[in-house]
A = this chain, B = another copy of it.
Amino acid sequence: MDVVPQVPYVDSVDTRYLESLLGYNARRAALSIIEVFLQRMAVYDLRPVDFSVMSLITHNPGITSKQLSNSLNILAPNLVAMVNGLEKKGMISRRPHPHDGRAMGLHLTDSGIEIMRRAEKTASKLEIESTPNLSTSERKTLLRLLQKVYFKP
């Protein structure tokens, strides 16, 4: 007969239940990719959130803080210091919005354009480096399924 010890202890941790949960795995996977992102983007002095903001300005010249706030799920007050920082580093400039006197349009400077040209190249290479265990087809499937999770109808 098996003997149950009076006070049990653990030799090797059983994580199988947590590993059956999507939320747990999604968070672990996201952190794992972001870890590589942080390392590779450090040369540009860009955190993931800075890269997201800069990338949206790159592909949407004249975008406003309000539009960034909506697109990236970042609260407006938390964007202020971020945008100020990017402006102070000479990567973006603010110009009055042509049709709305309350808003400011955000634009890349020449320096910002050059940095983002290289940073987006790094980000694309990073796709493979951060998921070396995935095949090209698995990577494509994963992207599609992740979008199905958070895209709201």
Contact of A1 with B by CB under 8 A: no
Given B16, B24, B145, which contacts A52 in the complex, CB threshold below 8 Å? Answer: B24
* Contact between B25 and A27, CB atoms less than 8 A apart: no
* Contact between B24 and A147, CB atoms less than 8 A apart: no
Contact of A95 with B by CB under 8 A: yes
Contact of A149 with B by CB under 8 A: yes
* Contact between B127 and A22, CB atoms less than 8 A apart: yes
CA distance A3 to B148 in the complex (A): 37
Contact of A29 with B by CB under 8 A: yes
* Contact between B63 and A37, CB atoms less than 8 A apart: no
CA distance A49 to B25 in the complex (A): 13
- List the B side residues contacting A133 at CB < 8 Å: 148-149, 151, 153
Encoded as 1 (CB less than 8 Å from any B CB) or 0, chain A from 44 to 69 comes to: 00001000100110111111100100
Contact of A81 with B by CB under 8 A: no
Contact of A97 with B by CB under 8 A: yes
Contact of A75 with B by CB under 8 A: no
Q: A13-B70, A23-B37, A33-B149 are in contact. List 20 more A-B contacts (CB 8 A).
A: A7-B96, A7-B105, A10-B63, A10-B105, A13-B71, A14-B60, A16-B59, A17-B59, A17-B120, A21-B123, A22-B33, A23-B34, A23-B48, A25-B146, A28-B150, A29-B146, A32-B149, A131-B148, A133-B149, A142-B145
